[in-house]
């Protein structure tokens, strides 16, 4: 099995020529039309709706607590799985690609297969959290694999030459270089866990409702009031995802600086 080629950094540069500017404009137009404008319209409808009191309802507070608790536990599990997978599959392209198997077959298929294979664990919290972690950890594995590929070997060799043992080399050289990649993968994993819907719908109990399933329930009720409540809950979910991204990706003091000498 061939090892993946080492990543060479590409310097940033502005678009060159008319075609590159047109390609950039087209990509931005698709992003605005398909992503930004729908989210802005949803926020606008939520702000115009007189349904913000729904955030204080007991079922909404319970769903918010479930969402935060399940996502936090799933993030820890996904980080552990992602790190182990990235280290184990460092020299295998096939095993790297296998991390994305849950997305290839879709989360619905994963949830349905879990119900079929483990009927005794149906509506059990460990199975639900395991499914969350399996769907979130590919982002950690992918980001960390890319970080491992970009590690400059001469830096590690220099640390060993200067007398650093493997453990010290890891904490003083390897870990500072991998930390941005790990945080990037964890941010995507957290956003995935917060917005997970399919496995929650298949594997959860009514008392384990999350914000995504609560939005689904509100949309299933007739009337403008239920629709307005769904808009408000969707904005809350979007805000949580953005906060999770910012908390994990926010630069820390010393980030971007070269690692200290071993």
Domain 49-249: CATH architecture, name and number where available: Orthogonal Bundle (1.10)
How would DSSP label each residue in 197-234?
A: -HHHHHH--GGG--HHHHHHHHHHS-SHHHHHHHHHHH
Residue 262: predicted pLDDT? 42
In Å, what is the CA distance from 81 to each residue of 77, 85, 134?
Answer: 6, 6, 8
Inter-helix orientation angle 224-249/211-220, to 10°:
160
Q: Which of 190, 178, 168 is nearest to 248 (CA)?
A: 190
Report which listed range, 7-16, 114-123, 147-156, 186-195, is most confident.
Answer: 186-195
Residue 119: predicted pLDDT? 85
Host H or E run for residue 246: helix 224-249
Rounded-to-integer distance, Cα 27 and Cα 31, Å: 6
Q: Which of 135, 151, 130 is nearest to 87 (CA)?
A: 151
Question: How many C-beta atoms lie closer than 10 Å to residue 7's C-beta?
Answer: 13
| pTM for the structure as a whole | 0.81
Q: How confident is the model at residue 259 (pLDDT cuts 50, 70, 90)?
A: very low
How would DSSP label each residue in 147-204?
A: HHHT--HHHHHHHHHTT--HHHHIIIIIHHHHHHHHHHHHHHHHHHHHT--HHHHHH-
In the block, tokens 């939520």 appear at: 46
Q: What is the pLDDT of residues 70-117, one digit of tens each?
A: 999 999 999 999 999 998 888 788 888 888 888 788 888 888 888 888
Tokens read off for 202: 């298949």
- Residue with the bigger pLDDT between 199 and 29: it is 29
Angle ∠(95,99,100) on CA atoms, nearest 5: 125
Residue 141: predicted pLDDT? 92
Rounded-to-integer distance, Cα 34 and Cα 52, Å: 26
Q: What is the pLDDT of residues 180-213, one digit of tens each?
A: 889 989 999 998 999 899 888 888 888 899 999 9
In Å, what is the CA distance from 12 to each residue of 7, 15, 147, 152, 186?
Answer: 15, 10, 18, 20, 25
């Amino acid at each position: 099995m061939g090892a993946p080629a080492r990543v060479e950094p590409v310097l940033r540069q502005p678009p060159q020529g008319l075609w590159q500017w047109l390609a950039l404009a087209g990509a931005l137009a698709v992003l605005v039309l398909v992503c930004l404008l729908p989210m802005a319209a949803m926020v606008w409808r939520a702000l115009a709706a007189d349904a913000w009191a729904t955030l204080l309802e007991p079922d909404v507070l319970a769903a918010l607590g479930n969402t935060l608790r399940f996502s936090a536990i799933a993030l820890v599990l996904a980080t552990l799985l992602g790190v182990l997978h990235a280290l184990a599959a460092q020299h295998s392209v096939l095993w790297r690609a296998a991390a994305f198997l849950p997305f290839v077959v879709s989360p619905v298929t994963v949830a349905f297969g879990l119900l079929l294979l483990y009927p005794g664990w149906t509506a059990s919290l460990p199975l639900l959290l395991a499914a969350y972690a399996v769907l979130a950890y590919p982002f950690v594995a992918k980001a960390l694999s890319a970080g491992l590929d970009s590690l400059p070997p001469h830096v590690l060799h220099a640390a060993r030459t200067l007398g650093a043992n493997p453990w010290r080399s890891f904490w003083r050289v390897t870990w500072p270089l991998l930390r941005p990649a790990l945080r990037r993968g964890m941010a995507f994993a957290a956003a995935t866990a917060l917005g997970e819907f399919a496995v929650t719908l298949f594997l959860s109990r009514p008392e384990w409702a999350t914000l995504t399933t609560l939005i689904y329930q509100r949309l299933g009720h007739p009337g403008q009031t239920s629709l307005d409540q769904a808009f408000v809950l969707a904005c809350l979910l979007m805000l949580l995802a953005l906060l999770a991204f910012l908390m994990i990706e926010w630069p820390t003091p010393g980030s971007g600086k070269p690692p200290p000498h071993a």
